[in-house]
Copies of this chain bind each other. A is one copy, B any other.
Amino acid sequence: MEAIETRYRTHTCGQLRLSDQGKTISLAGWVHNYRDYGGMVFIDLRDRDGITQLVFTPEGVGADAINLARKLRSEWVISATGVVADRGVDDKGKSLENPKLATGKIEIRVKSFAVLSESPTPPFLPDDREQINEERRLQYRYIDLRRPTMQDTLRTRHRVTRIMRDYLGDLGFWEIETPFLTKSTPEGARDFIVPARLVPGSFYALPQSPQLFKQLLMVGGCDKYMQIVRCFRDEDPRADRQAEFTQLDVEMAFIDRENIISIIEGLLRRIWKEVLNVEIPNPIPHIEYDDAMKLYGSDRPDLRYGMKLHDVTDLAHTTDFGVFKNAPMVKAICVPGGAKLTRKETDALAEWAKGFGAKGLAVTKVAGGAFDTGIAKFVASIAPQLIERTGAKDGDLLCFAADRSKIVHKVLGELRLKMARDLQMTPTQEFAWTWVVNFPLFEWDEEEKRFNSTHHPFTAPLDEDLAKFDSTDRATIESIKSKAYDIVVNGSEIGGGSIRIHRMDVQQKLFALLGIDSESQKLKFGFLLDALHYGAPPHGGIALGLDRLVMILRGINNIRDVIAFPKTQSGADLMCGSPSVVDEKQLRETHIRVALPPAKPA
C-alpha cells in the first residue's frame, strides 16, 4: 500500500525497496527496536505496513541530534527524513540483508527527525514473540493492537467485508440498514433492553438479528438485500461467544434454496481464493440432516476426519451382552490407531461420556484380526461382522455407545472430535466444506411438552410436507422437513439460512403448532402477518457469522482476537471500564430504578 503523502511521511515502513535507492524520503511510526552502537544508532521503525531500519550517525543528523537519537526508546513515535541506501555487506563480505523483512535489503540514512510522542516503558511490548496475559492485553488494547498479528487480523477482516460487499454489490444486492432500537420479542434468546425515555415504562430491544426487517424489505420489493450488521444476544457467558457479534445478512426474493446456495458458495470461494489462495470444491457437497446425524452424530459434522458412526444394533442384539441386547440403538466408531490408548485413558473416556448423558462407553482394541481388552469377550461372537462393518484394522480402537439414538449420536459425535484432537490426527483436507440440508422443521421439547422451531418460526417447510401441518400426530409433525440450510466448515457452522414462509395462512398454522394462539400472534407478529397478507414474494436468505469466518481464515481459536475491542466472557470492557454505574439523573430520566438481587446470606 502506498502512503498518502503528508508532512510526516512520504512512504510507509513496508514500502521501500532497493529500487528506491538514493531517494530522499520520510517515514513515521513507532520505535520497534533500538540499538545504540556508541554514537551510531539503529532503529527499527514500525507502522501498519511493516518495519524499516533507520540509521542515525553524527555525520547524518549532526552532533546534537545524535544525542537525541540515543534517547529514543521503544514505542516512541517519530518522523524521520533520510536517504534510501543499500544495506550492503559487512567487513567479511556477508550480506547485511534482513530476509525476514520486505524492506530488508535497504536502510534509511537519517538526515533529520522529530520526536512526535514519547512513551514510558509500556506494560508490554507489541511483539508477537511475547506471551502476554490476556487481561493485560485487553486493558491496554491500544498497545496490543500494534502487534503485527493483530494488524494482520484486522486487515483480513477488512478484506473479507470488502469482498462480501463487492461480490454481492456486483450481483445487485443493496446494503440497507435496519434499526438497532427495535421491539423485544420474548421468543428465542434473551434481549438487551433499552429504556425509552420518551415513552415512560417502555423499552426498545437491541436486535438479535434483522430477520423480520429483511423479510419486510422483501415484501417491500427490495429484491436483493445485504448488510454487515451487529447483532446482540444477552446470553450467559461462553468462551466462544460475544454479546455483540457481526453477521453478513442476506435476503433475496423470487428464489429457491439452490439459488442462494450457489450465490453464497461463490462468495466463499472468492474469499478463500483471495485471502488464502485456497480453492473451495465446486459445488460444495450437501448432506441431509438425517445422514449427518446417522453418520457423524452431529448436524455440523467435521468432515476432515473419517470415523463414521456404524449402526451395529442388529449385531449387538444377537449377543448375550445385556448393555447391548437391551439398548434401542448401538453404534460404533473405529478410531484409527486408538489401540495405543492406555486402560486408564479408555476408562477416562467412559467417564467423559457420562457428561453427555450416556451410561458409559464400551471399547475394545483390534489386534490380530480379533478383539482384545475392554468388552472383547462380550462381543467375541460378532467380532468378524463388527470388524467387517466398521472396517477396523489392527491397532484401531472400537468405541460403542448403546442408548436412545439422541444420546448415541451425541456421545459418538463428540467422541469423533475428541479423538481427532487427542490423537492429533492428520486431517484429510485443510478445509472440509458441506451444506447440511433438510433439517426437521420442529423439535419436540420434552420438558415443556411442546414443539420448538429448529431454526426460527419463519422457516418454510418442504412443499411436499405442507399437508402434514394439519396432522395432530406428533411423529408426523416431527417428520416435517424444512427448507433450511447450514454451511459448515471443519465442524463449525459459519452460516445458516432458509427459504421463508411467504403465505400468511402457512405462517399462522406454524405459529399455532408452536402453541402461539391467534391473540399472541397478533400482538407479537401482527405486522409480519399483515405484510404476508399484502403481497409477499417467495423469499429466503442466509446469515454468515463474520467473527467465526475470520477465526477460521486466520486459524485463530479465541474470538476476542478477531475483534478490535472485545469484551471479556462476563461482558466487561477492561479498557473503558464498562459496564458501569450511571448517574441517578440518567435513571430518573429513563424512568427506571436499579433493583439489586437480595444479598446472599453469609
Give A contacts to B, CB under 8 Å: 1-2, 4, 6-9, 28-30, 46-49, 75-77, 79, 116-120, 122, 126, 140-146, 150-151, 154-155, 157-158, 161-162, 165, 169, 171-172, 174-184, 186, 190-206, 212-213, 216-217, 219-224, 230, 232, 234, 237, 243-244, 246, 252-256, 259, 263, 502-503, 526-527, 530-538, 563-565, 567, 570-573, 575-583, 586-597
Contacts and interface: CB of A to CB of B under 8 A. Distances in A.
A570 B533 CA distance: 28
26 contacts: A1-B172, A48-B223, A48-B224, A120-B533, A122-B535, A142-B217, A142-B220, A143-B534, A145-B221, A150-B220, A151-B222, A177-B246, A179-B573, A180-B180, A181-B192, A181-B567, A183-B578, A190-B197, A191-B582, A193-B195, A194-B206, A200-B597, A202-B580, A213-B565, A527-B577, A591-B596
A39 to B, nearest CB: 25
A75 B16 CA distance: 62
Contacts of A181: 192, 232, 243-244, 567, 571, 573, 578-579
Nearest to A48: B223
Contact of A586 (B191, B206, B220, B581): B191
A48 B176 CA distance: 14
A589 B190 contact: yes
A528 to B, nearest CB: 9
Contacts of A220: 141-146, 150, 564
A564 B8 CA distance: 43
A30 B220 CA distance: 10
B193 A590 contact: yes
B572 A119 contact: no
A578 to B, nearest CB: 4
B502 A117 contact: yes
Nearest to A586: B193
Contacts of A28: 253-254, 537
Given A180-B244, A190-B589, A593-B593, 14 more contacts: A4-B255, A4-B259, A47-B223, A141-B220, A142-B534, A154-B176, A179-B244, A184-B586, A191-B582, A193-B582, A203-B582, A216-B565, A220-B564, A526-B577
Copies per complex of this chain: 2
Contacts of A151: 221-222
B154 A174 contact: yes
Contacts of A532: 117
B4 A172 contact: yes
Given A4-B172, A571-B199, A537 B591 contact: no
Contact of A578 (B75, B141, B182, B575): B182
Which of A6, A224, A502, A578 is most buried by chain B, counting CB atoms within 10 A of its CB? A578
Nearest to A219: B142
A425 B254 CA distance: 49
A177 B259 contact: no
A182 B531 contact: no
Contacts of A254: 6, 8-9, 28, 79
Contacts of A177: 230, 246, 563-564
Contact of A6 (B157, B234, B255, B530): B255
A232 B530 CA distance: 30
Contacts of A263: 4
A232 B180 contact: yes
Nearest to A8: B254
Contacts of A197: 190, 234
Q: Which 10 pairs of residues, A with B, have the shortest CB-CB distance?
A: A145-B220, A196-B579, A183-B578, A202-B579, A119-B535, A8-B254, A158-B174, A146-B221, A48-B223, A75-B535
A126 B222 CA distance: 13
A359 B303 CA distance: 81
Contacts of A217: 142, 145, 564
A206 B49 CA distance: 32
Given A4-B172, A535-B30, A180 B230 contact: yes
A536 to B, nearest CB: 5
B48 A576 contact: no
Contacts of A533: 119-120
Contacts of A119: 533-535
Which of A172, A181, A190 is most buried by chain B, counting CB atoms within 10 A of its CB? A181
A197 B190 CA distance: 10
Contacts of A176: 154, 157-158, 564
A235 to B, nearest CB: 10
Contacts of A77: 535-537
A4 B256 CA distance: 11
A29 to B, nearest CB: 8
